Amino acid sequence: MKKLRVLIVGAAFSADLHSDGYSRILDKVEIVGICDKDLSRIEALAKRYGFTGYTAYDDYNTAIEQCECDLVDICMPNFLHHDVALKAMNAGRDIICEKPLATTVEDAQDMVDTAERLGKHIYYAEDWLFAPAFRKALSILNSGQLGKPLYIRARECHSGSHSPFAQSIKYCGGGCMVHLGVHPVSFMLALKDNRWSELTGMTSGGQDTNLVHQKMEGEDWAGAFIRFEDGTYATLEANYVTIGGMEDVLDIYCEQGCIHVDLSFSGPVKVFSIPGLDYTVEKAEVTSGWSTPAVDEKYNLGYCGEINHFVDCALSDRDADVGLRGMDGLETLKVINLIYKSASEGVHIKKDA
């Protein structure tokens, strides 16, 4: 069986999430290159996931030019997505790109246009669509036994990113809405095939007007009300003011029932520790007392499923499912920018207006 040859660009946080997925399907994928300006991070990543036979690069231009690969997995800071993507696609490679697709709608559009012109695939890494608990919720919803959905509420929140790039709009593209809210926005757009009709947004504004993070240029709280073409309403929220660990929550209210999913804190393992544990769940500030340690966190958050899907798609030269294509990443960024426009100008926005 032919294996997909992958070059991973970046060896930090996102690369760790993706590498866990690759490590489970080494029967159909081969990591032929890893690139990071810090070569020690490459060595640590490869050792952690058992990658061998790869070439290490400290410059992504050199890596894309020299590495014999089929796909480039972009695990870089947001502001570099556009440049790395264009270089990779112009070199004849398909790409996986982490969220958000780019820091501006213009750059995201350029990426999608380039992929179409060159006949390349952009696989947009939205892990929520592969989280097993969310997929179970959608299977129940799609069974029709609860009737049609009327209102959906989704949020991702934690205490704030410590990445220096997340502090600047230039490098990140915004605040918590583009960094965390990108997940509920993408999820809802995928669920409704990108067919939204109107929205209203509100944010904390950034810097001095933020609730907590007053040195951050982007907002640390954001919310949006969205109406979809089929009449379903949704409330989507993101914030950097939630302590105690990351929250990924989905509530679906239907004609004859409802579904509630708490992705981060539900689990069968409960531990009481006086000194505390090494790790319980992403972004948990303390681990002493009672806690619910995550069980196979990367799998349950959807990263393994999305990587497996992208590898299968690339091997068969086909697009990803709805919500996981470049065009979906572009539509997500357009909606997030309209949320920002609504918030800053105090206006209600209709899609065709």
| Residue-wise pLDDT tens digits, 292-338 | 999 999 999 999 999 999 999 999 999 999 999 999 999 999 999 99
Residues 88 and 136 occupy one common structural domain: no
| Structure token digits, residue 308 | 């497996």
- Cβ-contact 219, 213 below 8 angstroms: no
The answer as to whether 80 is a domain residue is: yes
Residues 245 and 343 occupy one common structural domain: yes
The answer as to whether 328 is a domain residue is: no
Cα(223)–Cα(254) distance, integer angstroms: 22
Residues 272 and 138 occupy one common structural domain: yes
| Number of structural domains found in the chain | 2
Find where tokens 């890494």 sit. 125
pLDDT for 240-280, tens place per residue?
999 999 999 999 999 999 999 999 877 899 999 999 999 99
Residues 311 and 294 occupy one common structural domain: no
Residues 172 and 202 occupy one common structural domain: yes
pTM over 0.85: yes
Q: Is the pLDDT of residue 56 over 60?
A: yes
Q: Is the pLDDT of residue 84 over 80?
A: yes
How much is the average pLDDT of 160-169?
A: 91
Q: Is the pLDDT of residue 342 over 60?
A: yes
318 class by beta-carbon count within 10 Å (0-12 exposed, 13-18 middle, 19+ buried): exposed
Residues 84 and 210 occupy one common structural domain: no
The answer as to whether 323 is a domain residue is: no
Residues 50 and 137 occupy one common structural domain: no
Residues 43 and 61 occupy one common structural domain: yes
Q: Is the pLDDT of residue 149 over 90?
A: yes
Residues 50 and 182 occupy one common structural domain: no
Instruction: Give per-residue burial for 277-298: e unless 16+ CB within 10 Å, then b.
Output: eeebbebbeebeeebbbbeebb
Cα(60)–Cα(37) distance, integer angstroms: 9
Find where tokens 């997940």 sit. 183
Residues 34 and 72 occupy one common structural domain: yes
Supply the CATH number for residue 194's domain: 3.30.360.10
Strands 233-239 and 247-254: unpaired
Residues 184 and 73 occupy one common structural domain: no
The answer as to whether 184 is a domain residue is: yes
- Give the pLDDT band (50/70/90) at residue 162: confident
Residues 37 and 135 occupy one common structural domain: no
Range(s) of the domain holding residue 83: 4-126+306-318
The answer as to whether 327 is a domain residue is: no
- Cβ-contact 57, 34 below 8 angstroms: yes
Cα(251)–Cα(259) distance, integer angstroms: 6
Cα(164)–Cα(142) distance, integer angstroms: 41
Cα(8)–Cα(18) distance, integer angstroms: 9
- Give the pLDDT band (50/70/90) at residue 1: confident
pLDDT at 353: 55
The answer as to whether 325 is a domain residue is: no
Supply the CATH number for residue 52's domain: 3.40.50.720
